[in-house]
């Protein structure tokens, strides 16, 4: 049997009665193919989601990425390569540096939780290369001319609260659900474990380590490990010092200082005098300066050690 021609097969399918106008007077033309609109990729500078609400006076570097439903106020400045996740709110006189990552739901620069606040727009300063995770809150300072400040290379995990007038230095890690009350100062490379509160005006020293769920109501000396409720200085933060690259001599001298301050029968002032004589190394002298300043007016005093000899 002879095979059907292409025209006959197409006629049988209902697409047309014939493809040859010479053999049929009732030609049904094929449906025209609609024109395809080419996919146009938006320019690389178009990094702001259309649902974001950004005040026309806000200053954003062209490389800043802004996610859905973000709200940015008119006095906000944001540096290059910073990424802002969805539902973030940034208000107040807020300056954010370069290469920061701000995750979903964080709020920065909102009014402080302070009854002395008079309604004026005050300041937040955030440096470079910080990681601010989900639902972190960073409040503006209470009074004009004051500042809430965060340095560089810090990591604030989810639900961290940074109260008004706090000052955080560099390379700090704060774990989940930590609440810093107003005027807290944290020196560089400190490590704050999760689910704890820090009393207002407390200072936490460089390379200090705070255990989880600890009650922090007094200053924590540099290089020490603190834990408990009530909190106590437990030991020197040896692992932290080694990871930070402190030399063997520095660690040895700081160990001696710890034993004098927290394990001897000396009073605090007697122990401090002995510690100052151990060495002129900068880390030891920094510890001595911190201990002295903690005893001045307006400071909270020092977290004691495990025995009465560690108390100021």
Q: Kindly report, residue by residue over 261-299, the tens digit of the pLDDT.
A: 999 999 999 999 999 999 999 999 999 999 999 999 999
Which residue would you say has higher pLDDT here, 306 or 159? 159
Domains detected in the chain: 53-183 (2.160.10.10), 248-307 (1.20.1180)
What pLDDT score does 30 carry?
57
DSSP-derived letter for residue 264 is S
CB 178 within 8 A of CB 191: no
pLDDT tens for each residue of 29-48:
555 655 655 544 444 347 99
What pLDDT score does 6 carry?
46
Cβ burial 220-234 (10 Å sphere, 16+ → b, else e): bbbbbbbbeeebbbb
d(Cα 22, Cα 278) in Å, to the nearest integer?
Answer: 112
The answer, yes or no, to whether residue 174 has pLDDT greater than 60, is: yes
pTM: 0.84
Closest CA to 258 of 277, 272, 244, 239: 272
What pLDDT score does 306 carry?
76
CB 217 within 8 A of CB 199: yes
R_g (Cα) of the chain, nearest Å: 32
Which residue would you say has higher pLDDT here, 19 or 174? 174
For residue 256, whether the previous peptide bond is cis, meaning omega lies within 30 degrees of 0, is no
Task: Please list the residues that pair with 48 across neighbouring strands.
Answer: 66
Give the H/E segment covering residue 290.
Answer: helix 282-293
């Amino acid at each position: 049997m002879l095979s059907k021609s292409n025209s006959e097969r197409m006629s049988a399918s209902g697409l047309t009665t014939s493809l040859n106008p010479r053999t049929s007077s009732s030609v049904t033309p094929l449906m025209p193919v609609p024109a395809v609109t080419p996919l146009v990729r938006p320019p690389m500078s178009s990094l702001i989601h259309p649902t974001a609400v950004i005040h026309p006076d806000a200053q954003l570097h062209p490389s800043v990425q802004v996610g859905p439903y973000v709200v940015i106020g008119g006095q906000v400045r944001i540096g290059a390569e910073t990424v802002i996740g969805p539902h973030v709110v940034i208000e107040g006189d807020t300056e954010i540096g370069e290469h920061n990552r701000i995750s979903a739901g964080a709020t920065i620069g909102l009014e402080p939780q302070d009854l002395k606040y008079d309604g004026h727009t005050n300041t937040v300063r955030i440096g470079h290369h910080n990681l601010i995770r989900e639902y972190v809150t960073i409040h503006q300072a209470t009074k004009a001319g004051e500042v809430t400040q965060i340095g560089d290379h810090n990591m604030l995990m989810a639900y961290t609260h940074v109260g008004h007038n706090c000052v955080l230095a560099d390379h700090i890690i704060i774990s989940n659900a930590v609440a810093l009350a107003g005027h807290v100062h944290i020196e560089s490379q400190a490590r704050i474990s999760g689910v704890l509160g820090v009393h207002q005006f407390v200072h936490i020293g460089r390379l200090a380590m705070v255990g989880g769920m600890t009650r922090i109501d007094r200053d924590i000396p540099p290089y020490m490990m603190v834990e408990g409720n009530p909190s106590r200085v437990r030991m020197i933060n040896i692992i932290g010092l080694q990871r930070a690259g402190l030399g063997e001599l520095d660690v040895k001298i700081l160990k001696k200082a710890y034993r004098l301050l927290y394990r001897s029968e000396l009073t605090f002032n007697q122990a401090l005098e002995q510690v100052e004589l151990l060495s002129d190394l900068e880390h030891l002298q920094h510890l001595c300066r911190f201990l002295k300043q903690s005893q001045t007016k307006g400071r909270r005093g020092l977290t004691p050690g495990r025995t009465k000899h560690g108390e100021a």
